[in-house]
Amino acid sequence: MIQFKNVTKRYGNKTAVDDLTFDIKEGETFVLIGPSGCGKTTTLKMINRLIPLTNGYIYFKDRPISDYQVYEMRWDIGYVLQQIALFPHMTIKENIAQVPLMKKWSETDIDKRIDELLEMVGMDPEQFKNRKPSELSGGQQQRVGVVRALAADPPVILMDEPFSALDPISREKLQDDLVELQKKIKKTIVFVTHDIQEALKLGDRICLLKEGHAEQIGTPDEFLTSP
Ligand code: ADP
Ligand code: ADP
């Protein structure tokens, strides 16, 4: 689904991402892990063209990402950030409806989709859809962030430390719920974290980055049994 071929990113003379080559398969959760500054966010943002590459290629569905318009990437690739990034003046429903509206979905289809997704993340649509983000807890807002990323049914979701701003109990609950949700939606998820427990729990495969290069790529079992 997403292929990296010798991808390098330099900021000035600082190499943030160094010659990365890997394939992310359709329907898998691929976790990028490593300490702060190892290049996780840069790697993620190159996938949806928020950051241009210095060298190499990234292919999305067998097409080089440079062929895509930035707006196409927004449609095909959902994005969930660490900082809760809902529009404060809009209701939950209006926040979620943004991309489906741009894609000119009908009002009926949008309503149906919002109800279905809110239910999938354990939020009663009738209770929540007309509220403003400030009336929700951090965990609920992050659930809405996930729903918003899924709204127009993109094949790929990028998640940059989506749960790390939450308290430990909410974080664990959202991790468990994401595992369950992923069994139903089977999206290709690229998930950034610096938390090894989170990586082991969520990842089908894990890529350990060190100073911009891939130190190890493997399944959680392979990580647990390697020296
Ligand atoms: P991580 O997400 O793993 O914390 P980043 O991808 O944010 O790592 O950053 C990788 C390296 O690139 C770090 O050394 C960081 O300081 C540097 N970096 C990131 N963004 C920029 C930028 N816009 N300009 C210069 N250096 C940057
Ligand atoms: P994260 O690791 O979650 O990306 P950071 O605090 O490292 O968070 O980066 C926040 C923003 O600042 C990013 O957009 C990144 O590109 C930019 N940034 C990070 N490091 C540098 C740097 N050394 N110089 C300039 N911009 C940077």
Q: What is this model's ipTM? A: 0.74
pTM above 0.80, yes or no: yes
pLDDT at 40 over 80: yes
In tens, the pLDDT along 67-117 reads: 888 888 888 999 998 877 899 999 999 999 999 999 999 999 999 999 999
In tens, the pLDDT along 151-194 reads: 999 999 999 999 988 889 989 999 999 999 999 999 999 999 99
Cβ contact 20:215 at 8 Å: no
Which residues form the pocket of ligand 1, taking CB atoms under 6 Å from any ligand atom?
Answer: 11, 14, 16, 34, 36-42
Expressed in angstroms and rounded, the spacing between residue 31 Cα and the centre of ligand 2 is 19
Among the bound ligands, the one closest to the CA of 41: 1
Among the bound ligands, the one closest to the CA of 34: 1
Expressed in angstroms and rounded, the spacing between residue 37 Cα and the centre of ligand 1 is 5
Which is the closest atom of ligand 1 to the Cα of 194?
A: 3
What's the pLDDT at 97? Answer: 96
Q: What is the rounded distance in angstroms from the CA atom of residue 58 to the CA atom of residue 7? A: 7
What's the pLDDT at 84? Answer: 74
What's the pLDDT at 3? Answer: 98
Expressed in angstroms and rounded, the spacing between residue 121 Cα and the centre of ligand 2 is 30
What's the pLDDT at 101? Answer: 94
Q: What is the rounded distance in angstroms from the CA atom of residue 108 to the CA atom of residue 114? A: 10
Strands 156-160 and 55-60: unpaired
What's the pLDDT at 221? Answer: 95
Expressed in angstroms and rounded, the spacing between residue 180 Cα and the centre of ligand 1 is 32
At residue 185's C-alpha, the angle toward residues 96 and 22, to 5°, is: 105
What's the pLDDT at 226? Answer: 78
Which of 21-25, 35-39, 149-153 is predicted with the least confidence, judged by mean pLDDT? 149-153
